[in-house]
Structure 1
Amino acid sequence: MNLGKLWEDARGHVEFVVVVIVIVAAIIALAVIAEKFLFKEKKSKRFKTRNIAVVGMLSAIALVLFLFEIPLPFAPSFYELDFSELPVLIGSFALGPVAGVVIELCKILLKLVIKGTTTAFVGDFANFIVGCSMVVPAAIIYHRFRTKKAALVSLVTGTAIMTVFGSVFNAFYLLPAFADLYGMPLDSIIAMGQEINGNINSVATLVLFAVVPFNLLKGAVLTILTMLLYKHISPIIKGH
């Protein structure tokens, strides 16, 4: 990927880039505050060299998973399923919500450098912010109680938050931003959904019949995989 071209694309959408920076900063601040109040006893261990290496490794795995996207029969082509949040969730369960946010952000930045963007940054930004809407609450709840039951509750809660937030965010910001950045009517995006599902005839129905099931499916698969894998992988991450 040509970094100069990536920079030119970013400069062409200054307002969008500013919004991205503000939201990224807000997410990082939330994760840092959560760790300060919930995990004070572990603060000295958070940023050991080993943890930095683990974050880098999990970011690389997340990037590989991010590059393999699965089209869904009930959603337009710009909604494709990937499991890149799996290493993010595992990292956040092992090291805390800040690590989860950093892994998620590194995944997006690495993807932009290696592959660029095909969605005028909208899809990449959406993946980060919506992914964090599951990862951060799940990590906070899990670290508050640290039991198997808490892990399940945290993942189910994270899925619910991701579904609600993702739906509202798509309806009021992402879909209009996507239409604006691509210079296409919002009706054209709705029509793409209608070709797949005749019940889609507005932004609200696009969200209801495509975005909601998309996030529920993704959250359910991530919940199952995290519950199956975390206990087996966490000793390796923590060096036990």
Structure 2
Amino acid sequence: MSASWPVYRFEEIDSTNTEAKRRAGSGQFDEQWIVAASQSSGRGRQDRVWSSPVGNIFTTALFAEPGGIPVALRVPFAAAMAVVDTVRTFAPDAPVKVKWPNDVRIAQQKVSGILVETGGAGGDLWVAAGTGINVAYVPENVGQAATSLNLLSGQNLELSQVIGVYHSAFEARLAQARRGFESLRRDWLDYAEGRGQEVSVRVGEAFVRGVFEDLELDGALRLRLPDGSTRIIRAGEVSLIGQA
């Protein structure tokens, strides 16, 4: 499997998402992939530094989104499921889970990072969906437990093969997202970490505790609070109670 979109490769770059935004800013946001062997300024969600050693995947899908913001909001879930598809291809026995909205983890160890950014408006809306996948190396000092595809599979995987599988999976999951959210939502819930369990969600500087009940039709998290009321959360950082 491989990408159907053109692929632009760099030995080293500041970050693939930053390059995607440069291209989009100059009007170049036809469907394309940007791949780097290493990044000097890799970024994760909430402006966290993303460690970028050679041997791991750093790639961004850049594309126009005619479906507008409603479809763009589904892209983090599509990207997460593409990572799940990739993990299952190379490590089919790994107990892979997704922590809302798009942290793919195995036994609470993170294997990927996803950062989706958008710009433009209307017919010129573009999406840059960046993904880092640990293949050969487990980054150190990243603030949480991590793992890699090589560790999960027990093999020294060929990086180009893994990239091809991920690119193909993402393109398929994006097509699924564009058809509607319900099918993607059901697939995501099959791998949802903590569903039916009590979780803590950091919202700004506050923490909200409740049982993770469901995923709303726009991708928001539905919590059942201790007093029985419902809280819908559209942005936050989830932790399982008693776990990282």
Q: TM-score under structure 2 normalisation?
A: 0.28
Of Structure 1 and Structure 2, which has the larger fraction of its residues in strand? 2
